[in-house]
Amino acid sequence: MRFLLPTQRRLPTPPAGDPAFAPLEDPRMYWPVQRARVSKVVREGAQSLGVPVELGLLGLWQHELPGAAWVERIGLPRRAVELTLGDKLILHVNPNDLIRATHWQGWPHKYRPTSSAFIWDGEWDLRRGDLRISSRARFIADIDAHRGDLAQSEAFAKYMARLRAGKPWSSHQQGILLDSEARILTFLRVYLSFMDDMAVRGFDSTRGKDMLGVAITREGRLLKINRGLHRLAMAQHLGLPSVPVMVKAVHRGWWARVTEDVRGKQALERVCDALLTCAPEINPGPLDPRES
């Protein structure tokens, strides 16, 4: 039996791999990619096992059976709500209005709501970041401004600094290793190709791993959450008129005001109707971190 060295092994399909990044996939990322794949399989397996239970809990709440109040108190199972409401959770907004996002950096985990719940408690909606000055917005504007010579961009300088320090940037989710000047330039060109494709074809919600996620604040405003920040930054930079977003969570204060203590289908119908009136939050929050 002949054993292959890591550099001789064929790289398995990365969990978040995109065909555009194929030229940058490196066999030396074999084991990091394998660990990411195993983690994804375990996570998705646990989620699939939990879905029937979550649907059962939501059904209990919908039919106002004993325990319904407890199901609502723990926040309603998010995946069950998404499966039940489907496209009713999808809103279309002007990306240039979606400028505020939940800001978790430096925020203790005990204060962060659980992603498994649809109703979120706490002050998460009072701590907001400004996407107009985010690292993704700067990155997109930077490579577009230097598309004629990407070697003059800030992004190129950043990745080259890591390479010279002996710590080249890598991604176990994509199987990428930027260990040469040529690879860095190719990486930046791929992002430019994504932006150019969006400029021609519009926003493709199926291109990324997940839809752009938003949460509803206590005041009924939209805050950006989770993944898709590069795609949103491209849409903003290009001035697209509309992008689809999915409501992943709502603040309990807003929920209580909209449902007025009714449960079941009637409560979900009220929530769906109220979502149509929700607009992006544009103002800073009282708990925003100080900018350095």
Instruction: For 94-111, write each residue's pLDDT tens digit.
Output: 999 999 999 887 788 888
- Average pLDDT estimate for 246-266: 95
Q: What is the pTM of this model?
A: 0.88
Six-digit token string for 81: 């709500």
Element (H, E) at 120: strand 119-120
Residue 89 pLDDT > 90: yes
pLDDT at 1: 40
Instruction: For 127-185, write each residue's pLDDT tens digit.
Output: 999 999 999 999 999 999 999 999 999 999 999 999 999 999 998 888 889 999 999 99
Residue 3 pLDDT > 80: no
The fraction of the chain above a pLDDT of 70, given in percent, is: 93
CA 51/CA 44 separation, integer angstroms: 10
Domain count, the chain: 1
The model's confidence at residue 210, banded by pLDDT at 50, 70 and 90, is confident
Would 21 be classed as within a structural domain? no
pLDDT at 33: 74
pLDDT at 271: 98
Six-digit token string for 242: 């509309």
Would 10 be classed as within a structural domain? no
Instruction: For 219-254, write each residue's pLDDT tens digit.
Output: 999 999 977 899 999 999 999 999 999 999 999 999
Would 186 be classed as within a structural domain? yes
Residue 13 pLDDT > 80: no
Instruction: For 14-34, write each residue's pLDDT tens digit.
Output: 767 688 888 888 888 887 777
Would 42 be classed as within a structural domain? yes
- Average pLDDT estimate for 65-92: 96
Domain of 188, in residue numbers: 27-280
Would 148 be classed as within a structural domain? yes
The model's confidence at residue 203, banded by pLDDT at 50, 70 and 90, is very high
Mean pLDDT of the chain: 90
CA 78/CA 61 separation, integer angstroms: 13
pLDDT at 233: 97
Backbone angles phi, psi at 280, to 5 degrees: -60, 145
Would 73 be classed as within a structural domain? yes
Would 127 be classed as within a structural domain? yes
Would 57 be classed as within a structural domain? yes
